[in-house]
Amino acid sequence: MMQRQHKGRRVLRLALLACCLPFLTYGPPPAHGLEKYGRPLPSMDEPNHETREEEETLFGGYLLTGAFVKNPTFAARPDNTGLVGMRHMLHLETDLYKQYLTFYTDQNFFSDRTNGWITLSEWDATFAFTGVIDRFNWRLQYEHDAPLDRRGLKQAYADALVTARFQATQDFTWWRRTFPNQNLTAYAGAGWLFHNSQYFARPNNTGRALFRYVAHADLDLYKNKVVLYADTNLFTDREANNTLNPTELDWIVGIALRWKDTELAFYREEDRPLDQAGLVQKYYAVQLRFAFDVSKGAMERVGLRR
Amino acid sequence: MLRYYKEAPLLEESMVGSRSSRPTVHHGCWATVLLRNERVDQVGYRFVPNSVDASNDCEAIFANCP
């Protein structure tokens, strides 16, 4: 347990809190408040326990919609036909046991800009468990990619991934002094695709992926409202002579602007082979995300939970 | 004693890749306010989990204070 006393700012904090006292001290002491996903919750006292539980988050998620504003080569189906026009995604997640065990799913849909932009051409479904142990994150994921508007190639894999995290404000004291409103968060790790059904090792759909190496960095420019980010994902080929040698590099750079539960992002992705010449898939996209959470009480009110 | 908890926004905790998302750490901040004689005596922050700096979320708990 880490207890941080910001002594240098205590006087200011006390003055500010004094202004809030009428609000903070409302009700019989001792009083407790709880806020999850930005929503205030009622007292944690036992007499009100049922009320508190009713307002706890059952699951959270976000809706994403994006337009590939420039896309010369990023395919709209697993068999590399078409070109993506629009992308829509639903993300749902729930904590099963604190931060140690979380379940999430992504339902990801693409449309083909060569077929009118609206009709969906691909559905990628992901189901995963994830958790945190100190600086380490683990993930167990299954993904299934299939065409929607015609019969064709389907891909699936299951992988295990472990990453280690770095946070500048926590790991460098000089960072917090120099950049009080900025932060740099990064993680890197490796994964193993222990099940692979036609999940390829290069953008031109050759080879079969075996390992993945990932690295990600978020440069928080201002209080998590303006964030520059970069992400890389490398695959190796289980059919290659050296199965540890990367055969594909996927990279993304972007900037995200966040306001409350909404995010507007502009980013570029490029997927290229590393061990031979071949198809490079790339695009520029703009996307919106809207986050939400559903409380236990809300589910009861619509009759879906007792 | 007053205790407040603020969870980091979900958009901070889930990164979007080309085909799916990738999770980052769910985190938040507990703020404990100790009152003595109806005045604030101490304020303590605790990050959850403690391996993540959640000071942004701690500050956000008191964002509505003038």
What one-character-per-residue DSSP string does A103-169 give?
EEEEEEEEEEGGGTSSSEEEEEEEEEEEEEETTEEEEEEEEEEEESSS----EEEEEEEEEEEEEHH
Residues of A in contact with B38 (CB under 8 A): 21, 25
To which H or E segment does residue A46 belong? none
State the CB neighbour count (10 A cutoff) for residue A132: 22
3-state secondary structure (DSSP) of residue A223: coil
Closest by Cβ to A17, choosing from B19, B24, B65: B65
pLDDT tens digits, residue range A205-242?
999 999 999 999 999 998 888 999 999 999 999 999 99
Beta bridge partners of A133: A136
Please tell me the distance from the alpha carbon of residue B26 to that of residue A217, in angstroms, as a whole number: 17
First to last CA, chain A: 35
Report the residue count for chain A.
Answer: 306
Residue ranges of the domains in chain A?
2-304
Strand A39-41 relative to strand A57-70: parallel, antiparallel, unpaired?
unpaired
Cβ partners under 8 Å of residue A183, min gap 6: A167, A168, A169, A175, A218, A219, A220, A224, B53, B56
pLDDT tens track for A134-170: 889 999 999 999 999 999 999 999 999 999 988 887 7
Greatest Cα pair distance in chain B: 56
CATH of domain A2-304: 2.40.160.40
Q: How confident is the model at residue A306 (pLDDT cuts 50, 70, 90)?
A: low
State pLDDT tens for residues A52-65.
Answer: 454 567 888 999 99
All residues of chain A having their beta carbon less than 8 Å from the beta carbon of residue B66 are 16, 19
Closest chain B residue by Cα to residue A186? B24
pLDDT band at B19 (very low <50, low <70, confident <90, very high): confident
Strand A209-222 with A39-41, pairing = unpaired
Q: Which residues of B touch A2 (CB under 8 A)?
A: 46-47, 50
pTM: 0.81
* A173 interfacial to chain B (CB closer than 8 Å): no
Q: CB of A51 within 8 A of CB of A85?
A: no
